[in-house]
Amino acid sequence: MKKQRFIWMTGGALLAVVLIIFVQQFMTSGTQAAPMTQEEALQLIDERYPGHAAELIEEDGNVFVFNLENESGRYSLEIDRENNSVSHLENISMNDSVEEQMTAELTEEEALEIARQSSEGEIASSSQSGSADGKQYEFVFEEESRIVTIAVNAKSGETEIIDEEQKETNIQEPARILTEQEAIGIALEAVSGEVDDIELEQTDGVPYFIVEIETEDNEASVQINAISGQVMSTYWDD
């Protein structure tokens, strides 16, 4: 009797476990979200990619495949119906106008305007050359303290300084020569009298004035360095 009761109790427990598992599976399957519909997929596309015309071209199990098109080109879009998300997006083709814009190169005038943003100097020369990134324009600008060469990529418009040369800053200005009036003033300080004549001469690269002065008794010739104003010599006529 006890053995029969044990068997019934064991069987009842197993039956209860089976019923619990069955109920859980039923409730899970009943609450599982249904796959995304075509209308829901179109709404998702409109939210993610506004301005695109969408056309369903394939329904493969849990995947919608749409053809998207806008002013720039055509795209293939795949939507996972179970995850309600975009699983793949690929460009198929581009419109001619977009391709032309992407492949168009800058003119020399356009490139020069871009280069001017990197230098305030005067344009000295321009040329074209090829590089690993394609054609580029090279502009040489002469600034106050340097000469700089700026390269502009004809496609991307990117700029780069490819050469820079500093100007010489220690160039001395030519020495100033005294005026005749200044030379006469110096000569009269050395010899008092009346100026009869003045000439500018040069010996061994040194310029000087000869100022002839008449005094009460005789005549003097005063030699003055035309740069420093120093009295070099004074000659008297007997």
What sign results for the dihedral spanned by CA atoms 23, 29, 30, 32?
Answer: positive
Residue 231 near residue 183, CB atoms below 8 Å = no
Say whether domain 38-98 belongs to CATH 1.10.3470.
no
Backbone φ, ψ for residue 84 (5° rounding): 55, 45
Distances, alpha carbon 23 to alpha carbons 18, 20, 27, 99, 184, in Å: 9, 5, 6, 60, 128
Q: What is the pLDDT of residue 31?
A: 46
Whether pTM > 0.85 for this model: the answer is no
Say whether domain 105-166 belongs to CATH 2.10.109.10.
no
Q: What is the pLDDT of residue 74?
A: 84
Q: What is the pLDDT of residue 16?
A: 58
Architecture of domain 180-237: Roll (3.10)
Tokens of 178: 């005294």
Q: What is the pLDDT of residue 183?
A: 92
Rounding to the nearest 10 degrees, give the CA dihedral for residues 175, 179, 182, 186: 70
pLDDT in single tens digits along all 238 residues of the chain: 444 554 545 555 555 555 566 545 545 444 456 888 888 888 888 887 887 788 888 888 888 898 888 877 788 889 888 888 887 878 777 766 555 555 678 899 999 998 988 888 899 888 888 766 678 999 999 998 899 999 999 888 888 888 888 887 666 667 788 999 999 999 999 989 999 999 999 988 889 999 999 988 889 999 999 989 999 999 888 6
The pairing of strands 206-214 and 194-203 is antiparallel
